[in-house]
Amino acid sequence: MKDYLVRGISNSHNCRAFACTTTNLTNVAREHHDLWPCASAALGRVMAATLMLGAMNKDHEKVTVTINGGGPIGTILATTMSDGNVKAFVANPQVHYTYNDTGKLAVGLCVGTDGTLQVIRDMGLKEPMVSNVPLQTGEIGDDFVYYFMVSEQVPSVVSLGVLVDENNVVLSAGGFIVQLLPEATEEDITYLEDKMLGFPAISSLINEGKTPEDILGMIFDDIEILDHQDLNFECDCSKERMRAAIMTVATEEIQAMIDEDHGAELVCQFCNKKYHFTEEELKDIIKAKEDSANWNRR
């Protein structure tokens, strides 16, 4: 089944809802980064949430989520242009803990709680909107509930999940977000709370073959699906972009790459693709830097 996202609305319960399956793209991220299970779970949850945040926004708004909770996994970062494509990384992909009592992946322990969840929304016009909230449990879902409440004043239910097998393969991944609309009543809140009591884990539902529409249909019998969006892990790195990155490095440092290493190898942090620059290419970059410096001096 392809990864996709749906956006829907329940008029009788005054809620809007998003649901997505992200199994394939989480496996792509796992392969790019050689993720161990806890890192697959943490990154998979963050990617699903980031894609749903993107779906809440206008086209071409760049949404970047950064989580740093001081745990062994380090920084987790995911970014989307709200077009269904996401790219993401974790600082330390080879991290794995399980909770002793349940045997479940200990995402909260890996992420930590001594830090923040940051959301940057950039429409490319004015200053980007930056929100930082303190992490609650590091389990990601709870942290987004808190983010929506504090930063956007929208009461929300957030469910994110990733199921990994004993060979570290991602069996299922995805999530849903339900948000109360401003006209929601006490009855709507109670309805949603009751529905969520004992609601199955999202990763189990997806593993059973449930679609995003099925899952929203389990919450609301009148769910009206408004939009579909295909989802992919896609990195937009290129040799040109890497060259532009080297252009920002001090000339002496580029000279050192030539003298000491006789070239340079850059690795894209989002997809681990390697880009090699020869001595000649580095010399050209130094020359281009000098030319532009001279140009600016005129």
Using DSSP bridges, classify how beta strands 116-122 and 85-90 pair: parallel, antiparallel or unpaired. unpaired
Q: Is 86 in the site for Zn ion (CB under 5 A)?
A: no
> Which residue, 71 or 84, is less far from Zn ion as judged by CB?
84
Region binding Zn ion by CB under 5 A among candidate stretches 62-70, 206-214, 226-234, 268-276: 268-276
Region binding Zn ion by CB under 5 A among candidate stretches 25-33, 219-227, 256-264, 269-277: 269-277
- Position among 36, 270, 275, 277 found at the interface with Zn ion (CB under 5 A): 270
N residues, the chain: 298
Q: Is 29 in the site for Zn ion (CB under 5 A)?
A: no
Question: Both tokens of residue 162?
Answer: 């990733």
Region binding Zn ion by CB under 5 A among candidate stretches 10-18, 55-63, 185-193, 231-239: 231-239
The site that binds Zn ion (CB under 5 A) totals a number of residues, namely: 6
Contact flags string 132-171 toward Zn ion, x per CB under 5 A: ----------------------------------------
Q: Is 235 in the site for Zn ion (CB under 5 A)?
A: yes
Region binding Zn ion by CB under 5 A among candidate stretches 19-27, 37-45, 175-183, 230-238: 230-238
Give min distance, CB of 88 to Zn ion, in A. 11
- Position among 52, 56, 237, 282 found at the interface with Zn ion (CB under 5 A): 237
Beta bridge partners of 230: 4
> Which residue, 117 or 264, is less far from Zn ion as judged by CB?
264
Region binding Zn ion by CB under 5 A among candidate stretches 143-151, 154-162, 201-209, 232-240: 232-240
Region binding Zn ion by CB under 5 A among candidate stretches 104-112, 128-136, 203-211, 266-274: 266-274
> Which residue, 274 or 297, is less far from Zn ion as judged by CB?
274
Give min distance, CB of 199 to Zn ion, in A. 36
Sheet strands side by side (includes 129-134): 129-134, 116-122, 62-68, 76-80, 85-90, 232-233
How many Cβ atoms sit within 10 Å of the Cβ of residue 82?
Answer: 21
Q: Is 219 in the site for Zn ion (CB under 5 A)?
A: no
Give min distance, CB of 271 to Zn ion, in A. 3
Give min distance, CB of 75 to Zn ion, in A. 17
Give min distance, CB of 124 to Zn ion, in A. 21
CA 192 to chain centre: 26
Q: Is 268 in the site for Zn ion (CB under 5 A)?
A: yes
Q: Is 271 in the site for Zn ion (CB under 5 A)?
A: yes
Write a three-state SS string for the chain.
CCCEEEEEEECCCCEEEEEEECHHHHHHHHHHHCCCHHHHHHHHHHHHHHHHHHHHCCCCCEEEEEEECCCCCCCEEEEECCCCEEEEEECCCCCCCECCCCCCECHHHHHCCCCEEEEEEECCCCCCEEEEEECCCCCCHHHHHHHHHHHCCCCEEEEEEEEECCCCCEEEEEEEEEEECCCCCHHHHHHHHHHHCCCCCHHHHHHCCCCHHHHHHHHCCCCEEEEEEECEECCCCCHHHHHHHHHCCCHHHHHHHHHHHCEEEEECCCCCCEEEEEHHHHHHHHHHHHHHHHHHHC
Site for Zn ion, rule CB under 5 A = 235, 237, 268, 270-271, 273
